[in-house]
A and B are shown apart, each in its own frame.
Chain A
Amino acid sequence: MSQKYTGDKMNSSQSIKKWISCSLVLFLLTGSLKAVTREELIKRVDKQQEEIDQLKEELSLMDSSESDDILKSIDIHGFISQGYLKSWNNNFIADSVDGSFEYNEIGINFSTNLDDNLRAGLQLFSRDYGDIGNNDIEIDWAYIDYRMEDWLGFRAGKIKQPKGLYNETRDIDLLRTSVFLPSSLYDESLRDLFISIQGVGAYGNIPLDEWGDISYQYQYGSNDFEEDGGSARNFEDSGAYDVEDLDADYIYVQHIVWNTPIEGLRFVGTITKIQDFRGTGSTLPGGMIQGVPLSGTPPLGFGLPDGSPFFIELTNVTNYVGAVEWSHGNLVLMAEYTEARARLNVNDIVIPGVIDLSNSLFHVAGWYAGGSYRFNEFFEMGAYYSNAFNPDDKDNLDTETVSLAARFDITENWIFKVEGQWRQGKHGMFALDNPDGFKEDTFLLVFKTTVSF
């Protein structure tokens, strides 16, 4: 009993000791907890979170190889447009008098940032524009871009050519209100001449403090021209010969944008030089130049039997563009002027005292002014007046265009447009599409829908 009692006594004494120890530990623990401030706890949590993030990052690196990461970082975007053309009096690019769906554009691009300064990408493009394009797939642009500093970067590959306000984006219907850009500046039949350059370029943005900033681009290279492209079709439009090869020695572009300190106001200047743009091929049966038969014996013809080698060459082509755009809230106003000069040589044709086609002046000019207004997220309207002319011979190539367009943004990625045009003159249209000759006026109605992603 005594042992038991002693034992109980000892047990109770041990219990008391345990309670005291526990209480002391709890007391100390509570005290130490109270000593930690809320800020310190947040810091600890943040530190642990940072460690977790770092571990996650390391884990993701272990899970995927470098090539997997590049593949994951490739951005893919694209657009698909389909138009319907209906015209009265003259065919505009396709058999539009009867109504035509031969007007579409499809593009898909892939691009990735290889590091903070290096970027690469390419865009595949296909279009049907009457007899031009026929949905052949071409590389629209494909280049590497090294941005050394914000004021100096370099590009190499196939690069989009800047010209005026909208040349780089002329195929991207979703970026504008109208379906067609004014043909006095953006002649769709000459798209392949001005759309891209295969070579090298430098670019950058230079801050001018209170004077705004200047963006510039310089490009040097050449280009590939398709035999069924717009430029070839322009050369062939006389019906005198068939183009089998088309090339240019070099193309040089200088493009400057001054973003003025006035909000939304910018001025743009572009100089494009093309050296020896030459189309070679062979004469066609019944072909005539300025009403003189190619196959006829001189002086009644040029003495070129059917199938003879033939060329047309534009040397020292210089194209200038000056433009201004003012964007204020939902209103955008713009105006552009262009002038192009070159020496034209048609197959070295010279009949002394009768005709000299070996060195004539090729001179065209054009301007337009227009604007657009976005009424709400769904609806936008735009209009422009455009005039293309030959400064030396106003009667020969004087085309006026008045356009009125409406754009409906059905969703963020799906738009629908309708545009009406009245055109007086034949600029931007082909004689080949109008074999019975041109009528003075053309009325054109275009519907177009575009989806982008």
Chain B
Amino acid sequence: MSKNKIIRWILLSCMLIQLPYALANESKTVVIAHAENKAEKFSKDEIKKIFLGKRTKWDDDRKIIFVTLSTGPIHKEFLKTYVGKTPAQYNKYWKKQIFTGKGKPPKSFKTEKQLLDYVSKTKGALGYISRKTLSNKSNKIQIIKIEQ
């Protein structure tokens, strides 16, 4: 076997080894918004601020109506990846806002389909679903690109 062939085999093997990790690292969650909202991308920090009620408006001054799932692995992954909290900590955060009068918790949905439906019908809405559910998306939805 020539030297080049050996190098090719090594490179290919490395790529094959890396593939499952690359797939695993790709987030299963996508952030979606109503198609008419004026934003195509947010930073991770901006998403965190929105879901903690610290940023409240889109660039066109319209109110951000952010919505969540009430439970499940996608909810857990989203909170961990973007908000840096566990579901229990996130609930506590909003209970703190409720009982000090500082805010109202986001509307939450039991299923991704319900959330998708709501976001597609509500101007100003922002939420998250799994990539799998996204395949049913209507043209009333836009995917928000998240910059790290």
Residues of A in contact with B (beta carbons under 8 Å apart): 42, 46, 53, 75, 77, 79, 107, 109, 111, 113, 116, 119, 121-123, 141, 143, 145, 147, 150, 160, 168-169, 171-172, 174-175, 205, 207, 213, 215, 263-264, 327, 329-330, 374, 377, 409, 412, 452
Could you tell me if A141 and B100 are in contact, using CB atoms closer than 8 angstroms? yes
Whether A174 contacts B95 in the complex (CB less than 8 A), given A374-B88, A377-B88, comes out as: yes
Contacts of B140 in A (CB 8 A): 46
Q: Which of B49, B85, B96, B138 contacts A205 (CB 8 A)?
A: B49
Q: Which of A113, A143, A150, A175 contacts B95 (CB 8 A)?
A: A175
Could you tell me if B100 and A264 are in contact, using CB atoms closer than 8 angstroms? no
Q: How far is the CB of B68 from chain A (nearest CB, A)?
A: 14
Could you tell me if B88 and A172 are in contact, using CB atoms closer than 8 angstroms? no
B121 at the interface (CB under 8 A from A): yes
A452 to B100, CA, bound (A): 14
Could you tell me if B56 and A150 are in contact, using CB atoms closer than 8 angstroms? yes
| A111-B101, A122-B101 known, 8 other contacts, Cβ within 8 Å | A79-B99, A111-B104, A113-B104, A160-B101, A168-B100, A169-B99, A409-B88, A452-B95
Whether A263 contacts B101 in the complex (CB less than 8 A), given A53-B121, A172-B96, A174-B95, comes out as: no
How many residue pairs bridge A and B at CB < 8 Å?
Answer: 77
Q: Which of A42, A121, A150, A264 contacts B57 (CB 8 A)?
A: A150
Nearest opposing residue in chain A for B102, CB measure: A145
B3 at the interface (CB under 8 A from A): no
Could you write out 26 A-B pairs with CB less than 8 Å apart?
A46-B139, A46-B140, A75-B98, A77-B99, A109-B98, A111-B101, A111-B104, A119-B101, A121-B101, A122-B101, A123-B101, A145-B102, A150-B54, A168-B96, A169-B96, A172-B96, A172-B99, A175-B96, A175-B99, A205-B49, A205-B55, A213-B54, A215-B54, A329-B86, A374-B86, A412-B91
Which 3 pairs show the lowest CB-CB distances between chains A and B? A116-B63, A121-B101, A205-B54
Could you tell me if B84 and A264 are in contact, using CB atoms closer than 8 angstroms? yes
**B42-69: which have CB < 8 Å to A?**
45, 49, 54-57, 63
Interface SS, A side: strand
Q: How far is the CB of B46 from chain A (nearest CB, A)?
A: 9
Contacts of B85 in A (CB 8 A): 327
Contacts of A377 in B (CB 8 A): 88
Nearest opposing residue in chain B for A215, CB measure: B54
Contacts of B138 in A (CB 8 A): 42, 46
Residues of B in contact with A (beta carbons under 8 Å apart): 45, 49, 54-57, 63, 84-86, 88-89, 91-92, 95-96, 98-104, 121, 138-140
Q: How far is the CB of B142 from chain A (nearest CB, A)?
A: 15
A174 to B54, CA, bound (A): 23
Contacts of B45 in A (CB 8 A): 207
A149 to B19, CA, bound (A): 45
Central interface residue in B88, B92, B99, by most chain A CB within 10 Å: B99
Nearest opposing residue in chain B for A329, CB measure: B86
Q: How far is the CB of A317 from chain B (nearest CB, A)?
A: 24
A377 to B71, CA, bound (A): 12
Nearest opposing residue in chain B for A147, CB measure: B56
A75 to B103, CA, bound (A): 10
A53 to B34, CA, bound (A): 16
A390 to B12, CA, bound (A): 70
Q: Which of A109, A147, A205 contacts B101 (CB 8 A)?
A: A109
Q: Which of B91, B92, B101, B103 contacts A143 (CB 8 A)?
A: B101
Could you tell me if A160 and B100 are in contact, using CB atoms closer than 8 angstroms? yes
Q: How far is the CB of A139 from chain B (nearest CB, A)?
A: 11
A327 to B91, CA, bound (A): 15
Q: How far is the CB of A44 from chain B (nearest CB, A)?
A: 13
Nearest opposing residue in chain A for B56, CB measure: A150
A432 to B48, CA, bound (A): 50
A348 to B54, CA, bound (A): 49
Contacts of B104 in A (CB 8 A): 75, 111, 113
Contacts of B63 in A (CB 8 A): 116
A327 to B79, CA, bound (A): 14
A107 to B63, CA, bound (A): 30
Could you tell me if A213 and B86 are in contact, using CB atoms closer than 8 angstroms? no
